[in-house]
Each structure stands twice: as C-alpha cells, then as structure tokens.
Amino acid sequence: MAEFKTRIIGDKERVKRFRIMLSISLACVLIPLALIIYYGLQQLNNETDFQYQLKSVNALKHINKKLNIRVKTERKRPVSQYNFFQVVTNPLTGKLSKELSPLSNPDNYPERVGLIGYFQINTDKTLSSPLLPNQTKSQVIQSNTSFQWPEIERRIVVKEKIRNILLKNDFVINADNDTAVKATEANLPTDNIRKESFQVKRTQHNELILFRNVWINQQHKVQGFIVEFDAYLQRLLIEYLEQAHFEQSVQVRLRTIHSDQGILQYFKYSNNNGKPSVEVLDEPIPELGDNYIYESYIIAPFQKLQLKFSTGSYPLGSASKLVVFFLSVLIIVIISGCIGFYWVGIRQIELAEQRMNFVSSVSHELKTPLTSILMYAEMLMSGMVKNPQTQLEYHEFIYGESDRLSRLINNILKLSNLNRQQEMVNVEYVNVLPLQDTIKSKVSSLIEKNNFTINFSIDEKINDSAEVLVDLDAFSQIVINLIDNSVKFFNAAKIEDNARRKIDIGFSVAKKSKNNLIFSVRDYGPGISNAEKNRIFELFYREGNEMTRTTPGTGIGLALVNELVIAQGGQINVNTKEQGIEFEVLFEGRNIILSK
C-alpha cells in the first residue's frame, strides 16, 4: 500500500505563497491594463497628430490658393501691358490703335501686397516700364504724357528703384537708350508670342522678383514685377496660420531648398485663451521642434519654398483627460484593493497561526495541571500519603490548579460570549471604597501563593461617596487578569529582586474630566517594548517567539480585559515604565471630587 506524506506548511511558507499568488494576480491585471493605457494614449496621440496635420494641410492649402490667385492674374496679363503704350485692335473695324497700358496707372494695380512695380527687360538688357514711355528723363519731358512734373518725378523714383534692384541681381545693364527705337516696338502687332511660367528670385534686401521669359515676334524679353517679401508672402503666411486654430504653440519653418541664399524664418503660433497670434523669429525654438507634424512645398512659382510644422508634446484634450482620470482611478482602486486584500490575507494567515498556537497553548495549559491533579488525587486516594501536613499541601495544590483551570475556562467562555453578544454587561454605580475589599478577595490567593504584596492608593481629591460605573463581575475579571498577567511575566523573567514583588493599585481623578475615574494597576516586572505595546490587546497575541517562549498563557487574557473595558463604556491604556508597566482604565463616575 502506497504511503503519502503531506508536508505541513508553516506560517512563513503560507505568507510567501500568498505574496507570490497576489503578485501574479496583480501582474495579470496591471500588465493588460498598462498595455490598454499605453495603446489608448498612443491612439489619442495619433488622433491629435492627425488633427494637427489636417490643420497644417488646410493652412497651407489656403496659402497656396491665395498665391495661385495672385500668380494666375499675372499669368493671364497680356504681354503688351508691360509697355507704357499698348496696341489695341478694334473688334468692329479691325483697326489698330495705341492706348495707355492699364499698368501705367498705379490705381489699376492689384490689392496692396507690397508691390514695388512692374518691369520689362528688353533684348539688349535695358529696362522699360509701364510707368513711363521712354528710358531717359529728356524723352519723358519731351513726350506728351499729360503728367504733371511731380507725378513724373515720383514715377522716375520708382523706376530707378526697380532699376537698382534688377541691376544688383544681374537682370539689366546700367545703360540708358536715348533713341526712341524701342518705343516703336509697342506700335507693332504682337501676333507671334511665346511665354514661359513665372519664376521667383529673392534678393539680399528681402525682395521677391517674379519674372517670366517671353518671345514677342521672336524678340526675347523678360517681364515681371517686384514685391516686398514681408508684405507679399510673410503677411499671407501669418494670416492663414492664425486661422489654423491649433490648441497649443506650433513652430513653422520657412526655408528655400537648393539655394545658398535661402529664406530661413520661423513663425511661432501661440494660442492664449482662444486668441491666436503669430510671431516671426530668426531663431528656432528648441522645445517646439521635437514633434514633427507636417512639411510641404508652396505652390509654383514658389515651389522652392518649404514649410515645416512642428510642436512640443501634444496636450491631452478634454476627452483624453477624462479617460486618463478614470484609468487613474481604476488603477488606484485595483492597487488599493490588492493592498487591502493583502492585508486581510496576511491577517487571516496570522490569525490562523495564532489559533493554532492558541489550541496548542490551551492544550498545554489544560493537560499539565490536569496531569498534576490526577497524579496527586490518585496518590491521595490510594493512601500513599499518610502525613496530614503533606495531604494538606496536596489538597491546596489540587485546589490551586483547579482554580487556575477555572479562570482559563471562564476567560475563554466570557470572551466567546462577548464576541457573540450572548452575554450582557450590567453596569451600575458602585462606591469606590468597597472595591478595595472586592479586589483583595479576588486576588488574595494568587498574591500570597507567589509572595507578592499589593499597595492600594486613592487620590486625596476623591470623595468618600465617589462612585464608578462598572459591572462587578466584569470588573473583577479585569482585576484578576491584570494581576495574573503581572505575576506570570514577573516569574517568567526570573527577577531576583524581592523588593519588586509588588503591585500598585490605585484610583485617581482623570485630568481631562472631573466625571471620570482612572483605575490603575502597575507592576515592576520586565516591561514591554514600544512595538509590542500596541499589540498586547490583540486576540491570541503573545509576546516573543512561539518556539522559544517559556511564559504560560493562551493570549486571550488582555484581549478579554480590553473587551470587558469597552463593554463597560471605558477605555484602557498601557504606559511603559522604567521598571514594569502600568495599565490605566478610564471609567465613568459621579460625586468624584471632594467638596471644599
């Protein structure tokens, strides 16, 4: 027949297994929850990133749309309008006539976009302008323009400004033509025309030259206009970036690719309480360059200009904050529940261990005296003891052990009844002075047997008619257990100083209330540590290690004292002393203070 051996699991092994089980359970809950939180936040971050990309795309879309309208207008402009005079065909008669170009009147220019002026560069790289008919001042004065001299001077200044810009950028040569030959070209029909798309060049002084190559009757010319960058493009960028409505600060970098003199500017978008603003900077903001959003090129002819959107870490939206809040609460609840479950589990393991120790202690406390009682009773019954004095000693021993067993059983039964609320405590006001006799009668045999003395003291402020609200049986049980506890631990400590074999019992007035009395029991034994001071009233708790403990007891005496005190509406405290400890029990009283 096979034999199976089951190893008994100890307290430490139970705690270890419980911790491992709880850790695995917590990990099984927290790891999936952490993954859910991580991927949830990633999803929220991706959605925010998508929203920012969409707003960036829309901002660039509006910028390109506006620029396309501006450039499209210039693309459709007839090449003849870049001259001061243009040849117009009458659709009814077919005759040619010479009229002023619309560009000769600044009032016909497009809306204010920082326009400096229009120009046309002839085949010989000389400049002509729709502002004036000829190249030199003398020709302008001689021509019949109907302009007043102040207006002519103003136009000459603008034309010279255009000339200087084009000259610095190698578009024209520094020469004037005093002949009127070029002016006659405006009188010729322009049937054979070929045009290229507009191109852009940025000057060192932050101007944009928009130009195109055209061939008129196989004569090469360059036509275009010059604008200020800030007014033409930068202002447009600021306008539509402010309309993007980002939730947080965004940095937009503008640069020209494949160019040594590329535009390099930074736009900082800020949203202050719903009021967007854009600031132009020369240097980047490092904290706004970590999180890439979107980058793309501006529409032709600005296709070399690139916009890059970036920001810092994305803020949590209201929905995200709500999700994070509930997830945080859930994590706190789970961790708190695990901590509570761990505490309850550890307490249950400790309680199970204490109950096993209690059973072992009770068995020992019952078996040892019963064995002695049976042995002495058997010796008396068999007539082996003839000496009357020895017989008396045996009878006293049997009586003492029986009394100790009775106290142990009474403690167990009373504690059980109190916990089950099967026993009621009937409190009444009892005079303080007679309680001394009650205490002596209850503990006299215990005191005399262990060679102890009791010192009674009553505060001189206490009136002779002072009364305390107690149940006599419960009060007697409290006194017996406290004194028995003091004697037991004194003997276990093997203290040789006989002067310390005493117990002080007293009544005093409570300091905080004149309607309360303090009943105190103080011994001069080994005392207790501060760590054990807070646990001595726990059920089944016994000081020291169960394997090495030599002190008899079951661990329910002081727990019963605490329950009885609470049942009588009192409060018990323990104070450590230099020698021994002192128990103070607070009871309700009346007629306490001695009247003067």
Cis peptide before 301 (omega within 30 of 0): yes
Contact between 104 and 131 under an 8 Å Cβ cutoff? The reply is yes
* Residue 41 to residues 47, 172, 247, Cα–Cα distance (Å): 10, 60, 18
Distance between CA atoms of residues 488 and 65, nearest Å:
99
User: Both tokens of residue 313?
Assistant: 């870490």
The DSSP 8-state label assigned to residue 125 in this structure reads: S
CA dihedral 504, 510, 512, 514 (to 10 degrees): -170
- The three-state DSSP-derived secondary structure of 357-400 is HHHHHHHHHHHHHHHHHHHHHHHHHHCCCCCHHHHHHHHHHHHH
Distance between CA atoms of residues 593 and 38, nearest Å:
70
318-382 and 11-76 helices, crossing angle to 10°: 180
Distance between CA atoms of residues 592 and 112, nearest Å:
101
The DSSP 8-state label assigned to residue 234 in this structure reads: I
3-state secondary structure of 26: helix
318-382 and 388-419 helices, crossing angle to 10°: 160
Residue among 228, 226, 227, 221 nearest 127 (CA): 221
Residue type, 137: K
Pairing type for strands 453-458 and 502-509 reads: parallel
Rg over CA atoms, the chain: 54
Residue among 554, 523, 507 nearest 358 (CA): 554
Contact between 251 and 311 under an 8 Å Cβ cutoff? The reply is yes
Distance between CA atoms of residues 557 and 541, nearest Å:
10
User: Both tokens of residue 300?
Assistant: 């032709």
The pLDDT tens digits along the chain (596 residues) read 444 444 555 667 777 888 888 888 888 888 888 888 788 778 878 888 888 999 999 999 999 999 898 888 888 888 888 888 877 777 777 777 778 888 888 777 776 788 888 999 988 888 888 888 765 666 666 665 667 778 888 888 888 899 999 999 888 877 654 444 344 444 445 568 888 999 988 888 888 999 999 998 888 999 999 998 888 888 889 989 988 888 889 999 988 876 655 667 899 999 888 789 999 988 888 889 888 999 999 988 888 888 999 998 877 667 677 777 888 888 888 888 888 888 888 777 777 776 766 666 666 566 677 777 888 788 878 878 778 888 887 787 787 778 777 777 776 666 666 555 545 678 899 998 888 888 888 888 888 888 899 999 988 888 888 899 998 888 888 888 899 888 888 888 888 888 899 999 999 988 877 788 999 999 998 888 877 787 788 766 666 554 444 555 566 778 878 888 888 889 999 998 888 899 999 999 888 876 55
- Compute φ and ψ for 50, nearest 5 degrees: -65, -40
Task: Classify 128 in phi/psi space as left (phi over 0), alpha (psi -120 to 50) or beta.
Answer: beta
Query: Which domains does the chain carry?
Result: 77-230 (no CATH), 424-590 (3.30.565.10)
Distance between CA atoms of residues 88 and 100, nearest Å:
10
Distance between CA atoms of residues 596 and 460, nearest Å:
12
Residue type, 472: L
